[in-house]
Amino acid sequence: MATNGTEFESVRTVSVVRHYRLGRSLIPAVDGVSLAAGRGEFIALLGASGSGKSTLLNLIAGLDRPDSGAIVVEGSDLATMTSEQLAQYRRHTVGMVFQSFNLVPTMTLYENVELPMRFAEVKRKERRARVTEALERVGLSDRMKHRPSEMSGGEQQRAALARALANRPKLLLADEPTGNLDSKTGTEIMDLIRELNRTLEMTVIMVTHERSLAERYANRLVFLGDGKLVGESINELEKIGAAR
Amino acid sequence: MRAYDLIELAGRNLREAGLRNSLTTLGIGVGVASLVAMLSLGIGLQKLATRQLGRSGLFDTVVVTSRQDSRGPRFAQAAPVTAQTKPLDDVARHNFEQMANVAEVYPNFSAVGDVRLETDKTGNHFTVVGTLPQSARTGEAFDDVQGSFFSSGTAEEAIILGDFGRDLLNLPREPRGTDVKLTPDQANQLLGKYIVLRYHKREAGESAPLAGNTTKKGQADPDDVDSGDDIKAEDAQSFNLVPKTLKLKIVGIVSSEPNRGLRQGRTPMFLPLQLAESLDMVQAGELWSTLRPSENKTYIALIVRVAKSKAVSQVEDEIRKQGFSTFSILDASKGITRFFTFLDLFLGIFGSLALAVASLGIVNTLVMAILERRREIGIMKALGASDGDVKRIFFVEAGSMGILGGALGAGLGWTIGRAINFATNIYLQRQDIKPENFWVVPIWLVAAALGFSVFVSMFAGLYPASRAAKLDPVQALRHD
């Protein structure tokens, strides 16, 4: 279901290369990866640490720029964008969650979820409605005034998900979202991500090194090794199509 | 990002590291305070100096004398007598009055007469009588006037010096030329009382009947015993000297002589200008002209008061072109202005040093903040903050410290100035010197200090802000 035509395509990378300079040598973190993700698809990027999966995710997130190749998201090529356009893209098209949650510790839950809307210049009245809506969706509407330090890891990651939803992005990028959680809470978070993927028709690209997790939730598994695409498998067990 | 979001984010960041930012802000405050204090001292001293000089009546004044006679004040400039010389008469006076930037023109008037208290039949005091224009009211001599200034330019009133008051009351004399302030009790014995002035009127034309005149006056004022004081006209062709008497009410007593710089000798009694002019009193310097017939009334010297002290030289030039000698102390005032410009500059540089040090504090604080908020900056960028947004947040933080520090500093500087002023004045009063306001904090200085502080802070924020903006979000968010 993933590759039936460009109008259903959300993300396409074409021979993306990203090198890092380490002392005198050049490390090819991502070395010519071509990958496409259809709208509403749930892709898991798998690989050992140092395989380049996080670098690829950062490139798709617009936090980093490729040295060569193209990254086309929703019709526009990130490689040609100015940094202001990239910021615009991160603001409106992408939502991100991280292994270490990355909530601002000095802000309350409400303020954390509100933060991306400040950059997107959403009006104050609308912000309140959207924060409430996003927090309801992740089941944290009663914790608005709490700071991240007063919340469990699972709650923090749910808060991060709510924040990622605030600007209603089309693409959710998750970098080891369960890496800092126990398996029970990890499952809860993954259920939540799948629910968002289904009900909001968000394209999800998730970096993980847990194959079992990927097999349970993603409908396509992409394997990276040494910055290159080394394998791909459509997940037969996943019944997303049937559920729709 | 919208302005209120920017300010809100910057504000919460400032509060987050409250102690550090308060100390930095305090540093700015101290810097601004030292700048404000230094400059207000300079401004205050300058104002004090120009006020003192300005109120001496010298700095906006041009003394005009005729080139054709030498009877004028000694300070008249020696000028070659040319064919152009004109008499200093009413025509000339009118011309001066019509000039641009001229506030008023009045004669330098000095007559002599006998003065006594109305109630004191015996004690005649021979004295010099001067005049004061209504504008003299603001002069420094009237700071501690007992009584008041003339009610009008034509009122039959007199203002006397304190030591002359003692003479009138037949009290022992103080050493000559010292400023005497009467006790309230002594002043009350004089204020509102009448004095009788005996003088000589200059009457043009042929043989005025002296006797008749005196009789008339005698009827009006029977107390005046005018005995054989008749002065025969030296030259009936020019004018006659007619003795007259006039009753004047004492309205004010001053301890120092008003507009002292313009006169020679001591003038212990003053009449309103218009009144004195209408009296046609024979003036002190006019004895010489009694020997020289002249058709018109001429002045010994005219005093031209200029509206702005800047225009003095222009007015002076114009009058000289018309063929008169002039005198002013313009050059002295130019020198004073230059001196104070240097003083202000010097004080300003000293004051700014503290502010410069404080601005390093801002740089330090914000660079620290970048290190601390590295991850937060990364998060903001991941959530869609542009480089410009991050830069502006840091900029607003720096600016806020500048505004707060500036306000604090302006207040502090003002308070310090007040305190020093207060303490110094207590000291001056102990030394029996009149207290002076030598510490002036004008509103423009406060505004400028605030603006300068914000500018310096923003400038200090330039480097941290651009460094924060350039932070690589991938590096900042790396979890290790």
Residues B264 and B349 both lie in one domain:
no
Contact A63 B474 (CB under 8 A): yes
Interface pTM, i.e. ipTM: 0.91
Q: Could you tell me how many residues make up chain A?
A: 244
H or E segment and range at residue B250: strand B239-254
Q: How near does any CA of chain A get to the CA of B364, in Å? A: 22
> A-contacting residues of B 373-432, CB under 8 Å?
375-376, 378-389
> B-contacting residues of A 95-124, CB under 8 Å?
96, 98-100, 102-104, 106-107, 115-116, 118-121
pLDDT band at B58 (very low <50, low <70, confident <90, very high): low
Contact A83 B2 (CB under 8 A): no
Q: Which pLDDT tens digit goes with each residue over B204-213?
A: 655 444 444 4
- Evaluate if residue A18 carries a pLDDT over 70: yes
Whether B436 and chain A come into contact, CB under 8 Å, resolves to no
Contacts of A119 in chain B (CB under 8 A): 1, 380, 383-386, 389
For B474, the closest of A58, A84, A90 (CB atoms) is: A58
Residues B237 and B303 both lie in one domain:
no
Maximum average pLDDT range among A67-71, B93-97, B148-152, B205-209:
A67-71
Quick one: which of B92, B383, B389, B222 has its CA closest to A167?
A: B383
Residues B264 and B292 both lie in one domain:
yes
CB B401 within 8 A of CB B32: no
Whether A90 and chain B come into contact, CB under 8 Å, resolves to yes
Tell me how far apart the alpha carbons of residues B243 and B256 are, in angstroms, rounded to a whole number: 30
Whether A48 and chain B come into contact, CB under 8 Å, resolves to no
Q: Strands, DSSP E only, in B29-156?
A: 61-66, 102-107, 110-117, 125-132, 146-147
Residues B367 and B439 both lie in one domain:
yes
Q: How many Cβ contacts (< 8 angstroms) between chains A and B?
A: 67
What per-residue confidence (pLDDT) applies to B466?
94
How distant is the alpha carbon of residue B56 from its chain centre? 8
Poorest-confidence range of A89-93, A136-140, B234-238, B362-366?
B234-238
Q: How near does any CA of chain B get to the CA of A102, in Å? A: 7
Taking CA–CA distances from B473, the nearest residue in chain A reads A63
What per-residue confidence (pLDDT) applies to A224?
93
- Evaluate if residue B238 carries a pLDDT over 90: no
- Evaluate if residue B228 carries a pLDDT over 70: no
Residues B156 and B200 both lie in one domain:
yes
Contact A118 B1 (CB under 8 A): yes
CB B7 within 8 A of CB B1: no
Contacts of A90 in chain B (CB under 8 A): 381-384
Tell me how far apart the alpha carbons of residues B428 and B435 are, in angstroms, rounded to a whole number: 6
Tell me how far apart the alpha carbons of residues A9 and B332 are, in angstroms, rounded to a whole number: 86
Contact B376 A120 (CB under 8 A): no
Contact B384 A87 (CB under 8 A): yes
Q: How near does any CA of chain B get to the CA of A118, in Å? A: 6
Residues B129 and B236 both lie in one domain:
yes
Q: Which pLDDT tens digit goes with each residue over B284-325?
A: 665 555 444 454 567 778 888 887 777 788 888 888 888 888
Which are the contacts of B149, defined by CB distance < 8 A and separation ≥ 6? Answer: B134, B136, B137, B142, B159, B251, B252
The two structure tokens encoding residue A29: 């973190």
Contact A104 B379 (CB under 8 A): yes
pLDDT band at B75 (very low <50, low <70, confident <90, very high): very low
Contacts of A88 in chain B (CB under 8 A): 384, 386
Average pLDDT, chain A: 89
Average pLDDT, chain B: 78
Which are the contacts of A114, defined by CB distance < 8 A and separation ≥ 6? Answer: A127, A131, A166
Maximum average pLDDT range among A132-136, B152-156, B274-278:
A132-136
Taking CA–CA distances from B16, the nearest residue in chain A reads A106
- Evaluate if residue B26 carries a pLDDT over 90: yes
Q: Which pLDDT tens digit goes with each residue over B319-356?
A: 888 888 887 776 566 677 788 888 888 888 888 888 88
Q: Is the dihedral of CA A85, A88, A93, A99 positive or negative?
A: positive
CB B88 within 8 A of CB B336: no
Contact B382 A96 (CB under 8 A): yes
Residue found under tokens 């209408």:
B278
Give me the domain span that covers residue B266.
Answer: 110-296
The two structure tokens encoding residue B29: 């405050």
CB B164 within 8 A of CB B126: no
What per-residue confidence (pLDDT) applies to A237?
57
H or E segment and range at residue A12: strand A9-22
Contact B386 A88 (CB under 8 A): yes
Pairing of strands A220-225, A42-46: parallel
Among B312, B328, B344, the domain boundary falls at: B328
What per-residue confidence (pLDDT) applies to B44?
83
- For residue B106, give Cα distances in angstroms to B90, B103, B272: 11, 10, 11
Domain count of the fold of chain B: 3
Quick one: which of A101, A124, A96, A33 has its CA closest to A70?
A: A33
Tell me how far apart the alpha carbons of residues A16 and A30 are, in angstroms, rounded to a whole number: 7
Contact B9 A116 (CB under 8 A): no
Which are the contacts of B158, defined by CB distance < 8 A and separation ≥ 6? Answer: B195, B197, B248, B249, B250, B251, B269, B270, B271
What per-residue confidence (pLDDT) applies to B284?
63
What per-residue confidence (pLDDT) applies to B193?
87
Quick one: which of B133, B177, B136 has its CA closest to B54?
A: B136
Residues B264 and B126 both lie in one domain:
yes
Q: Which pLDDT tens digit goes with each residue over A82-136?
A: 999 999 999 999 999 999 999 999 999 999 999 999 999 999 999 999 999 999 9
Q: What are phi and psi of A9, to 5 degrees?
A: -90, 135
CA angle B252, B255, B261 (to 5 degrees): 105
Contact A87 B386 (CB under 8 A): yes
> pTM of the full predicted structure?
0.67
CATH code (residue B93)? 3.30.70
Which are the contacts of A86, defined by CB distance < 8 A and separation ≥ 6? Answer: A62, A65, A78
Taking CA–CA distances from B5, the nearest residue in chain A reads A118
Tell me how far apart the alpha carbons of residues B143 and B255 are, in angstroms, rounded to a whole number: 10
Poorest-confidence range of A187-196, A234-243, B170-179?
A234-243
Tell me the residue type at B348: G
Exposed / middle / buried, residue A19 (Cβ in 10 Å: 0-12, 13-18, 19+) = middle
Tell me the residue type at B377: I
How distant is the alpha carbon of residue B321 from its chain centre? 29
Tell me how far apart the alpha carbons of residues A41 and A2 are, in angstroms, rounded to a whole number: 7
If you average pLDDT over residues B403-415, what whole number do you get? Answer: 91
Residues B230 and B205 both lie in one domain:
yes
The DSSP result for A128-146, as a single string, is HHHHHHHHHHTT-TT-TT-
Contacts of B378 in chain A (CB under 8 A): 102
CB atoms within 10 A of CB B213: 17
Tell me how far apart the alpha carbons of residues B135 and B262 are, in angstroms, rounded to a whole number: 14
Per-residue buried b or exposed e for A82-112, using 16+ beta carbons within 10 Å of the residue's own CB: eeeebbbbbbbbbbbbbbbbbbbebbbbbbb
Q: Which pLDDT tens digit goes with each residue over B86-99?
A: 777 788 888 888 88
CB B337 within 8 A of CB B129: no
For A63, the closest of B386, B387, B473 (CB atoms) is: B473
Q: How near does any CA of chain A get to the CA of B375, in Å? A: 8
Residues B21 and B153 both lie in one domain:
no
- For residue B450, give Cα distances in angstroms to A92, B30, B364, B406, B470: 40, 12, 21, 5, 30
How far is the first Cα of chain A from the last one, in angstroms, to the nearest whole number?
12
Q: Torsion-angle region of residue A50: left (phi > 0), alpha (psi -120 to 50) or beta?
A: left
Q: B196 versus B136: which is more confidently predicted?
A: B196
> A-contacting residues of B 9-68, CB under 8 Å?
9, 12, 16
What per-residue confidence (pLDDT) applies to A205?
95
Tell me how far apart the alpha carbons of residues B303 and B132 are, in angstroms, rounded to a whole number: 11
Residues B104 and B114 both lie in one domain:
no
Contact B383 A107 (CB under 8 A): no
Domain segments of chain A as ranges: 41-62+83-243
For B386, the closest of A83, A100, A107 (CB atoms) is: A83
Tell me the residue type at A195: E
The two structure tokens encoding residue A206: 């998730």
Whether A21 and chain B come into contact, CB under 8 Å, resolves to no
Q: Which pLDDT tens digit goes with each residue over A20-43?
A: 888 888 888 999 999 999 999 999
Domain A41-62+83-243 has what CATH class?
Answer: alpha beta
